[in-house]
Chain A
Amino acid sequence: MTTAVDTARTHRRRTFRNRLHQFDLKGVPYLFVAPFFLLFAVFGLFPMGYTVYASLHEWSTRKPDQTFVGLDNYKFLLFEYERFPWSIVNTLGMFVLATIPQLIVALLVANALNKRLRAQLTWRMLVLAPIVTSVVAVGVVFARIWGQEYGMINGFLGLFGVDNINWQAERWSSWTAIASMVDWRWMGYNALIFLAAMQTIPKQLYEAAAIDGANSRQQFWNITVPQLKPVIIFTTFISTVGGMMLFVEPMMFSSGSFDGGSNGQFQTTSMVLIDLLRTYGNYGMSAAAGWLLFIVIVLLAGLNFLVVNRIQGNK
C-alpha cells in the first residue's frame, strides 16, 4: 500500500520535473527574446502605427481635437507647402553629392589598405579616426572651415584669386559643404567594410589574372569591383537610409536652426519634419512628413538595388 503511494508521489514529482524541463526547452527561449520584442512593440511598432493615425488627422498644439482630415496633410505637404518637395530635392542632392565620391574613395582606400603594409592596424585606425567625432562636433569645425570671411577653403581659393564665396547662399555650394562633412566622417568606415569584403576574395582569381597579363588596375576593375557587388549594394543601402535622414550636419551649418538657409536651400526633409514638430507644433503634418520620407527611402532603396544590379551585371 505504502509503496503504491510512494510510486505515485515519485511519479507526480517526475511529471512536475518533466514539465519544468519541457518549459525550460520550449518556453524559456521565448523569455530570452521577449525583452527585445516587448521594447520593439512599445517603442517601435506602436509609434509607427500611430504615425498613420496622426498623419490622417488635423492635430496640433493649437488644435488638439484630432479631427479626421483624410489625406489632406499629405496633399498640403506635396502640393502647397513648397518647402517640402524642395526638401526632398535638397536631401537627394546632398545624398548623391556625398555618396558617390565617398564610395569611390572608400573603394580605392580599401584597395590600398588591402596591400601588404606595415602597421596595418595603425593605418586602419587612422582612416577610421573621424568616427570619434560626433556629428555636432563635425558641424562646429566644418562650419568654420567653410566660413565666408575667415574660412580655410575660401582662404585657399583666394590664393588663386577667387573671391570669398558665401557657401551657405546657394544650393550647390551649401550641398558641397554639407556633403564634405558626411564624407569626412563616414569614408573610413565604409573603406573598412569594403576591405573586409576584399579579404574574402579568393587570391587565385588575382593569380590567374596576373598570369594572363592583367595589370593591377585591370585586376581592380575586373575582379575586385565585381566580387564586391553584394557589399556595394549593402553599403549603398545603408548610405541611402542614413543620407535620407540627414539632419544634424545641415542644422549645424545653419547655426543650429531648422530652416536650412534663407530660402531653405539646404533644408532636408528631416529638418522640415522637426520644424513642423518643434516650431509649429503640428503633429499631424509632421507625422505625414515622416511617412512620405519613409516612402521615399523605400523607393530609393529599391531603385539603387536595381541600378547597382544592372551596372554590375553588365561587367
Chain B
Amino acid sequence: MSTVLKPPAPAAAPTAPPSRKRPKRRGESGAHVLEPTALTRIGLIAVVVLSIFPLYWMIVIASRTTSAASKFPPVLIPGGNLGQNIERALTDPQANLLLGLQNSFIITGTVTLAVVLISTLAGFAFAKLRFKGSKLLMFGVMATMMVPLQHLGLVPLYLMMVKLDWLDTYQAAILPFLVNGFGIFLMRQYTLQSVPDEIIEAARIDGATTFKIWWRIVLPALRPGMVVLGLLTFMLNWNEFLWPFLVLSSETPTIQLAIRQISVGLYSTDLSMVFTGTLISIIPITILFLIFGRQIVSGIMEGSTKQ
C-alpha cells in the first residue's frame, strides 16, 4: 500500500511515449488527503470560470455589435453576427488579417520545423554520443536558456538586419528564433528515456553510421517528444510580438502585429471588429490545444520535473 502510488520510473522501451499516464486506482490509498473537499471543488470551479471568462467574452463580443462591449452587467449570450463579423474582418483591406495569418503560418511553421530538427540532432548527440567537451557544450546550451537573448542583443540584432537589408523579410523574423536551448534540453531528456544504449550498440556492430542511427532508430523513438516540442514551439512563436514588431512593418505583418494595428489604429472604436480579429488570431492555437491538449499538458509537466 505504501509504495504503489509512486510515479513509475522512466520507461525504457523505445516505443513508450514518456507522457504515458498511470491510471489511478480507486479506493487504493492510505492518504485520505487526496480526496477533494467541497471547498476544493468550489475553489477550482471559481478558478476555471475566471480562466475561461475572458475567452468566452471575446467570443460574445465578436458575435455582436460594438455597443455590446459597453454594457453592464456584461452581455453574456453570443449574438448572431459572428459570421458576418468574421467576413468583414477578413476581407477588410486595411485590417490585413489574412496576410497576417499567412505570414504567421509561414514564420511559425518554419521556426517550429527547424527547431525540432536542430533539437533532435543535438539532443541525440548530447544524450548518447561521447565527444570531447560535450559536458561543457551542454552547459552552454543550458546557459542560453537562462539569458533573455532577444532583449539583450536586441539593438545589434536589429542593426544587423538593417545592414543586411533584411527588414520586412521572412528570414529576419525566423532566424533569431532558431536558437532554442530548451528544445535541445527537452530532446536530450526524451532520448535518454526512450532510446536504450543497447539498441545503438547493436546498430553500430551492424555497421550503421551515426547519421543512420539517428534517422532509423532515434527519430522514430522520439516522435512523441517531437510532437510536444513542436506544439510548445509553435504556440510560443505564434504569440511572439516584440521581434516581428521591430523587423516587420504594417505592410508585412504577422497576425499579432495586425491585431495591434487594428486595435490601436483605424478600428480602435470598432470593438466588434477588434474582438473578431483577436478571436481569429487565437483560433489556430485553440485548435491545436483542443486536439493535442494531452500532449501540451504533459509536455509542460514533463519539461519542468526534468530540471
Contacts and interface: CB of A to CB of B under 8 A. Distances in A.
Contacts of B209: 24, 28
B50 A152 contact: no
A207 B239 contact: no
B289 A150 contact: no
B44 A32 contact: no
Interface string B64-84: 000001111110000000000
Interface in B1-18: 2-3, 5-7
B126 A33 contact: yes
Contacts of B246: 274, 277-278
A200 B7 CA distance: 7
Given A44-B179, A136-B260, A141-B57, A128 B297 contact: yes
A65 B35 CA distance: 69
Given A47-B157, A117-B36, A129-B289, A155 B72 contact: yes
B149 A44 contact: yes
B176 interface: yes
A256 B263 contact: yes
B292 to A, nearest CB: 10
Given A112-B40, A112-B44, A203-B2, A241 B51 contact: no
Interface-centre pick from A39, A145, A200 (highest chain B CB count, 10 A): A39
A188 interface: yes
Contacts, number: 296
B52 A126 contact: yes
A139 B58 CA distance: 12
A227 interface: no
Given A30-B131, A137-B281, A255-B264, A128 B300 contact: yes
B302 A150 contact: no
Contacts of A139: 263
Contact of B297 (A124, A156, A216): A124
A48 interface: yes
A36 B141 contact: yes
A145 B264 CA distance: 16
Contacts of B235: 131-132
Interface residues of A, number: 104
A32 B214 CA distance: 10
B278 A234 contact: no
Contacts of A42: 175
B293 A26 contact: no
B148 interface: yes
A39 B175 contact: yes
Contacts of A131: 235, 289
B294 interface: yes
Contacts of B278: 136-137, 140-141
Given A155-B72, A195-B301, A277-B158, A29 B131 contact: yes
Size category of the binding interface on chain B: 35 or more
A47 B71 CA distance: 49
B159 interface: yes
Nearest to B67: A150
Interface string A88-114: 000000000000000001001100111
Given A108-B43, A128-B297, A132-B289, A47 B160 contact: yes
Contacts of B156: 46-48, 50-51, 54, 287
Contact of A150 (B43, B70, B274): B70
Interface string A1-45: 000000000000000000000001110111011011101101110
B211 A28 contact: yes
Contacts of A135: 239, 241
Interface-centre pick from A28, A33, A121 (highest chain B CB count, 10 A): A33
B238 A204 contact: no
Contacts of B57: 141, 145
A121 B176 CA distance: 34
B48 interface: yes
Given A33-B126, A149-B70, A234-B304, A136 B148 contact: no
Given A24-B210, A115-B34, A144 B69 contact: yes
A193 B300 contact: yes
Interface-centre pick from A108, A150, A294 (highest chain B CB count, 10 A): A150
B31 interface: yes
B293 A127 contact: no
13 contacts: A25-B210, A29-B131, A32-B122, A40-B140, A50-B156, A127-B48, A132-B289, A136-B256, A184-B51, A192-B300, A197-B305, A247-B242, A256-B260
Interface of B: 2-3, 5-7, 24, 26, 29-37, 40, 43-44, 47-48, 50-52, 54-55, 57-58, 69-74, 118-119, 121-122, 124-126, 129-131, 134, 137, 140-141, 144, 146-149, 151-160, 175-176, 178-179, 181, 184, 209-211, 214, 235, 238-239, 241-242, 246, 256, 259-260, 263-264, 268, 271, 274-275, 278, 281-282, 285-286, 289, 293-294, 296-297, 300-302, 304-305, 307
Given A47-B153, A197-B305, A237-B146, 15 more contacts: A32-B129, A47-B149, A50-B153, A51-B156, A117-B44, A123-B48, A125-B297, A133-B55, A136-B281, A145-B57, A206-B31, A210-B30, A270-B242, A286-B155, A294-B147
